[in-house]
Amino acid sequence: MDELIEFIKDMIKYIIIIAIIVLIRIYVLTTTEVVGASMEPDLKDGDILLVEQLTNRYGEYERFDIIVFEQSPSYLIKRIVGLPGETIQYIDNELYINDKVIDFEFKTNGKTEDFGPYVVPDGSYYVLGDNRINSVDSRVFGFVLEERIIGRPFLGMWPFNKIRVVN
């Protein structure tokens, strides 16, 4: 009888551990794979990223954050360039937000064709891929609703020889 009680106690411990892992996976962390070349040169096709989902629930996204969002029938990874309420446009390969030139320090591939001005609606973001000549992004499908955002990748986990912080 004592063995049965010990067995039940052990099983309860394992069930609790599994439940905690499942809850973390559903509400805190997830993974995604980069598909395609739209975020090169920093993120490559086949990279596997760890994505935090807490900003989506308890924080706010900032300009130049990389996000993962649902774009039916799949998930996409892009960089936020326009925040809710802002007027965004590109002129001569320069980003203008509310008529002011915005500098950025990340690398892009190719020239960004002129577009805008567009006013980003509340609850939405304007996103671009870093590989401007090979990216399906807000220039094609429009604004990304906040409710479609899954989270923000923060760690490149694959390939193992290139584990790094994503920024």
Catalytic residue set: 38, 78
Angle at 125 (CA atoms; ends 155, 81), nearest 5 degrees: 65
User: How far is CA 71 from its chain centroid?
Assistant: 12
- 23-27 LR contacts (CB < 8 Å, sep 24+): 27/53, 27/57
Cα 60 from Cα 126, distance rounded (Å): 15
Question: Given the structure tokens 């994503």, which residue do they identify?
Answer: 166
CA 92 – CA 98 distance, rounded (Å): 16
Question: What is the spatial distance between Cα 151 and Cα 68, in angstroms, rounded to a whole number?
Answer: 6
